[in-house]
Amino acid sequence: MVPIIAEDQPMRSRAPFLFLVMALVTGLAGCETVPETVPQQTPPAVDSGAKAKVVASQEEQFTPEYKEIHRTIDPKHTPRIVAPDSVKRGQWFDVTINVGIGANHPSLPEHFVRYIALYKDTTEIARVYLHPVYSFPKITLTLALDEGGLLRAIEEPTHSAAWEASKQIQVVP
């Protein structure tokens, strides 16, 4: 066997490496000794001012239109919720969400809807991720509710923040 370490190195500096080689060759069979630990090197100090500048520059990339959910009406981006105004407790019903109240949202490689999510008040019920080109931004979910509340549909296109629409639903006994 050809030595991997120069013979002139002191045994103490070779011990961790030799243990590793021995462990690989023998599979640690019958090994009861713990190797000498290698001293940990402390990483160089990072200037906190430089770190703050990086975080600030990343934060600046997200303009307000990418941070805030849009709740205004836009013909191609506002979700449209189609659901009954009232349902019986525990009875299954369909909720259809279509992106666009005046026109359909495009589904192109450079501009498409990433996902459509449905919430009941603040609880997320479902989220459907869509693929560009192959999927049309419309989903139908079948639900049953115990109590009434606010159904909220949120959709997120690739070029802006999410858009939200809501519909009140009552549950009767």
* pTM recorded for the entire structure: 0.60
Helix, strand, or coil (residue 20): helix
* Cα distance between residue 83 and residue 93, in whole Å: 8
Please state, in angstroms and as integers, the Cα–Cα distance from residue 29 to each residue in 1, 20, 21, 32, following that order.
20, 13, 13, 9
Domains defined for the chain, CATH in brackets: 1-38 (no CATH), 68-172 (2.60.40.730)
Q: What percent of the chain has pLDDT over 70?
A: 61
Percent of the chain at pLDDT > 90 equals: 36
Tell me, what's the pLDDT at 44? Answer: 54
Residue type, 47: D
Judged against a pLDDT cut of 80, whether residue 43 lies above it is answered with no
Half-sphere exposure of 64 (CA within 13 A, CB side): 0
Mean of all residue pLDDT scores within the chain:
74
Measured between its terminal Cα atoms, the distance across the chain in Å is 83
Shortest CA distance to 153 belongs to which of 103, 83, 92? 83
Structure tokens at 42: 């402390």
Residue found by looking up tokens 């307000």 in the block:
64
The answer to whether 159 and 122 are in contact (CB under 8 A) is no
Q: Residue 15 is inside which H or E element, if any?
A: helix 11-26
Is 80 a residue whose pLDDT tops 80?
yes
